[in-house]
Chains A and B, each alone.
Chain A
Amino acid sequence: MSTMTATVPDQAGSMGTVRNWKTPIILSVLAVFALVVFALGAPANSVTFRLSDPSDAVVLTDLVLSAPVTGWICAVLMLAAAVLSILEVRAGRRVPGWLVAVFSVLFVVGFLTWVVGSARTPNVALYGLLAGSVTLAVPLIFGSLSGVLCERSGVVNIAIEGQLLFGAFAAAVAGSLSGSALVGLLAAAVAGVLVSLVLAVFSIKYIVNQVIVGVVLNVLVSGLTGFLFSTVLSADADTWNSPPRLPVLPIPFLSEIPVIGPILFRQTIVGYLMYVAVAVIYVGLFYTKWGLRTRAVGEHPKAADTLGVQVNRMRFTNVLLAGVVAGIGGSFFTLVSVSGFGRDMTAGQGYIALAALIFGRWNPIGAFFAALLFGFATNLQYVLSFLGTPVPNEFLAMLPYLVTIFAVAGLVGKSRAPAASGIPYIKG
């Protein structure tokens, strides 16, 4: 028995070359665009990026860049990166990930310099831009985490939008009635679970198509909250729709760190819960018994079943748990962002969260960064429309969605969804 050497039939055959020109083409087009707009079309003035608020403990000096010089540097470097990517692909290699990352950073720097430079006031608070991005990303991150929990265990969750909206609604109503923001927060979690419960019962127990259940739930929640908003909440807003806001709790010392301190450590309890949720779900998924079973149920439920794991029970609890997470995310809209519920106030954020989930490759940390990117795009749109740039507002409003499409379609590469996601498990 000592001679059991395995033959390897299908691995590591000799490598041939399949050239994929997608990335070099995209990079080249963007680089030429940058050359024309950021460099040749650069405004003659200089641009000021403010790095810290004058009231901060440590005040950094402003960053002043010359728009034409920065534009040219970025454009030339981007052209070089594009050429490098062409050479790599011609040599039969893949475009390295770092090259795409560097290119993206250059593009963002070039774009910011150009667009702020062309504004009426070529002066922007970079810290504000970034802090706003994190804040705006909070509900997206909760939504994505809800998606991670569901999809990793094999249930597609299109109902993130509905969970967020119902969470927002419940937080507003419960917060107003009780006068306590924490009660609102709790109610939001319960509301998220209620949406989840419907999703779980129909998709797991009655094996209805999961996408359809999700879409129907979104429409249902939108209709229900919209109806209650116009009949009850608007009629007596003082009683029903004036929730207290969650206080901002700066963490001592950490919040004093220049630039990142105010961005990361001046949050409400919802913001901190977001960090906790990302960490807990990440560790849970990849380092615990619960996570191993969850992933197994989402990849190969039959294998899990043959080992005594109760597939549908596992899926059911995870979908409910996802409701808690998304519901808390929903409370952000009414307890943090603005004080009060508005009709359809989540405005498609649940779908963006779904995109972040895919862009983040079904990984909590990936989803976190993807959501931050979308948050940045959204905030940039707000800031730019405020500064008065030459780009029409309607185009700026497209920015988060353009970023979403490019991110999901172009840059995801070969990401693999959990194999059994969306497929109901029927025993026997």
Chain B
Amino acid sequence: MKLELKGITKKFGTLVANDHIDLMVEPGKVHTLLGENGAGKSTLMNVLYGLYQPTEGQILVDGKPVSFGGPGDAMAAGIGMVHQHFMLVPVFTVAENIALGNEATKAGGLLNLDETRAKIRRISDEYGFDVDPDALVEDLPVGVQQRAEIIKALVRDAEVLILDEPTAVLTPKETDELLAIMRQLKADGKAIVFISHKLREVKAVSDIITVIRRGKVVGDADPDAPAAELASLMVGRSVSLALEKAPAQPGEVTFRIKDLTVTAANGQRAVDGVSLQIARGEILAVAGVQGNGQTELTEAILGLQDHVAGSITLDGEELVGRKVKDIINSGVGFVPEDRSVEGLVGAFSVAENLVLNRYDQAPFAKGLAMNPARVAENAAQRIAEFDVRTQSAAAAAGTLSGGNQQKVVMARELSRPLKLFIASQPTRGVDVGSIEFLHRRIVAERDHGTPVMIVSTELDEVLDLADRIAVLYRGRLMGIVPGNTSRDTLGLMMAGMSAEDAETTQTDAAQPDAAGTDSAGGDK
């Protein structure tokens, strides 16, 4: 099946998300849409999938114009989509999720889930998916959930499969598996539209790359082109992918975690006997797949978790058991993982958000009264210093783009003398240009002599920033390794192998340039 988009334009009010986009997708090819967050890739795909109606333009299937009133029409035309945020009902089983909307029934409208199970097993065997039809989706790891999503499309005989940022939530190993699945689907004659901004994967799997910037097609690129070239096409100016940073000059160790155990409300140990220390002037990156205790670890340091055992000391003072406010006031800067939920108050102005941790202290407050003039003054300085793109300091923080919101959080946390700086997912969903800037600020804080802890699920970011890397798996520390450890070794550790075993496995595999070109190339 050949799919063609002609002059697709999608406007939301005055915002033009897609501007006359032409695209031709052919069977047996992986067609990549490369673009930054907010470039309009997802909008385009939602138009193609019938979730949005295009303002202008045409969709052609095998040369015939079609119009999709809803996803049902798109599916009937043979288009399947794996959404960035999985469209699975967590409390349903895999079979129920796959049956939904396409239910096989027995007499009287009763569900015939056996038929769905059989279909799942058939596809699962064909592609080696290993998905249990009766497992509850919420109990499954994300990699398996994703396969359930792919099965959902295949059960409906999709000929064109759209994968929207599919690797964002996967471990390196799961990513490799997904790329293999994509190749196999391609060999079966399916057309695959792969949406991504991760150059490594794009280069590995694409047949054609179409670059989208600010809602427009900038042009097609060759998958063999150097990563830096693709990146500059994507961003619209030349970017340096490798972060320049001087070697760390670790000083005295001021931050220590000893035998830290955090028990979640359901009784599971989210963090299990973790011990580590960070010296002044050093960045320790905590790597791991999402949900392996990173959130609980950082929240325990800040005093946000109940049921914490063990010890956390900063400059010799115990932090466990103290109030959050005490801990913040003792000089801990904290960038939470989800800026829109925990980092900012969306309805508050940028200026107010910039003093959220000090609104009740001089010079911003005197007694019961706040001093708006000083708040505004502070906002003007921070906005200039961090290059926050906002209409004004009085604009609601929620109206800013992701990258600029993150700059606001970062500016707030870095605008006072710190004894410890913790940043969770400092650049998640942030455009490439801002990533560069935020990374430089983090390194600057390190060079200023602050112990820095970065938590990231992006291996690229970990390798860029880290002086040492701690890998968490199911709440346990798999080891702390130097910052130049190979990507493959880290991948194994993230899947639960100890540092020593991972090293040995890698040496045995004898991949001569695994560490060299791969990690230092710094693809993002």
Q: Do A and B bind each other?
A: yes
Please, what's the 1-or-0 string for B118-148, where 1 marks a CB less than 8 Å from any CB in chain A?
0000000001111000000001011110000
A10-B291 CB under 8 A given contacts A288-B110, A290-B109, A292-B111: yes
B92 touches A295 (CB 8 A): yes
Q: Does B442 contact A (CB under 8 A)?
A: no
Q: Does B90 contact A (CB under 8 A)?
A: yes
Q: Does B304 contact A (CB under 8 A)?
A: no
B184 touches A1 (CB 8 A): yes
Query: Which residues of B (12-28) have their CB < 8 Å from a CB of A?
Result: none
A292 touches B96 (CB 8 A): yes
A9-B109 CB under 8 A given contacts A16-B269, A295-B92, A300-B87: no
Q: Does B268 contact A (CB under 8 A)?
A: yes
The listed residue with most A CB atoms (<10 A of its CB), out of B71, B73, B261, is B71
B72 touches A289 (CB 8 A): no
Q: How many B residues touch the partner, as a band?
A: 35 or more
Q: Does A54 contact B (CB under 8 A)?
A: no
A404 CB to closest chain B CB (Å) equals 26
Task: From A287, A308, A419, give the contact of B111 (CB < 8 A).
Answer: A287
Can you name the residue of chain B whose Cβ is closest to the Cβ of A309? B101
Q: Which residues of A contact B289 (CB under 8 A)?
A: 7, 9
Q: Does A307 contact B (CB under 8 A)?
A: yes
Please, what's the 1-or-0 string for B80-113, where 1 marks a CB less than 8 Å from any CB in chain A?
0101000111111000110111110100111100
A10 touches B269 (CB 8 A): no
B110 touches A296 (CB 8 A): no
Task: From A6, A295, A308, give the contact of B72 (CB < 8 A).
Answer: A308
A10-B89 CB under 8 A given contacts A292-B96, A305-B51, A305-B70: no
B88 touches A303 (CB 8 A): yes
Can you name the residue of chain A whose Cβ is closest to the Cβ of B142? A9
Q: Does B473 contact A (CB under 8 A)?
A: yes
Q: Which residues of B contact A291 (CB under 8 A)?
A: 111
Please, what's the 1-or-0 string for B274-297, where 1 marks a CB less than 8 Å from any CB in chain A?
000000000000001111110000
Q: Does A428 contact B (CB under 8 A)?
A: yes
Q: Which residues of A contact B268 (CB under 8 A)?
A: 12-16
A6 touches B130 (CB 8 A): yes
B13 CB to closest chain A CB (Å) equals 12
Q: Does A365 contact B (CB under 8 A)?
A: no
B71 touches A18 (CB 8 A): no
Can you name the residue of chain A whose Cβ is closest to the Cβ of B103? A289
Task: From B81, B100, B261, B263, give the contact of A296 (CB < 8 A).
Answer: B100
Q: Does A11 contact B (CB under 8 A)?
A: yes
A292 touches B495 (CB 8 A): no
Q: Does A306 contact B (CB under 8 A)?
A: yes
Q: Does B3 contact A (CB under 8 A)?
A: no
Can you name the residue of chain B whose Cβ is closest to the Cβ of A300? B89
B414 CB to closest chain A CB (Å) equals 31
A148 CB to closest chain B CB (Å) equals 15
A308 touches B52 (CB 8 A): no
B88 touches A17 (CB 8 A): no
Q: Does A100 contact B (CB under 8 A)?
A: no
Partner-contacting stretch, out of B170-178, B316-324, B361-369: B170-178
The listed residue with most B CB atoms (<10 A of its CB), out of A8, A11, A307, is A307
Q: How many A residues touch the partner, as a band?
A: 35 or more
Q: Does A361 contact B (CB under 8 A)?
A: no
Give Cα A2 to B181, complex, Å: 11
A308 touches B101 (CB 8 A): yes
Query: Which residues of B (462-519) have their CB < 8 Å from a CB of A?
Result: 473-475, 495-496
Task: From A6, A18, A92, A295, give the contact of B307 (CB < 8 A).
Answer: A18
A18 touches B100 (CB 8 A): no
Task: From B75, B270, B293, give the contact of A308 (CB < 8 A).
Answer: B75
Q: Which residues of B contact A8 (CB under 8 A)?
A: 141
The listed residue with most B CB atoms (<10 A of its CB), out of A11, A16, A302, is A16
Q: Which residues of A contact B91 (CB under 8 A)?
A: 299, 416, 419
A10 touches B70 (CB 8 A): no
B115 CB to closest chain A CB (Å) equals 12
A18 touches B265 (CB 8 A): yes
A18-B292 CB under 8 A given contacts A300-B89, A305-B70, A428-B51: no
Task: From A10, A15, A306, give the contact of B71 (CB < 8 A).
Answer: A306
Q: Does B49 contact A (CB under 8 A)?
A: yes
Give Cα A31 to B214, complex, Å: 69
B220 CB to closest chain A CB (Å) equals 29
Give Cα A14 to B96, complex, Å: 30
24 contacts between A and B (CB under 8 A): A2-B128, A4-B130, A9-B291, A10-B141, A10-B292, A11-B139, A13-B475, A15-B268, A16-B263, A16-B268, A16-B272, A17-B267, A18-B263, A18-B264, A92-B267, A287-B110, A288-B108, A288-B110, A304-B100, A305-B70, A306-B81, A307-B101, A307-B102, A308-B73
8 A-B pairs besides A288-B108, A293-B100, A306-B81 with CB distance below 8 A are A6-B141, A7-B289, A8-B141, A9-B288, A10-B141, A13-B475, A296-B100, A307-B87
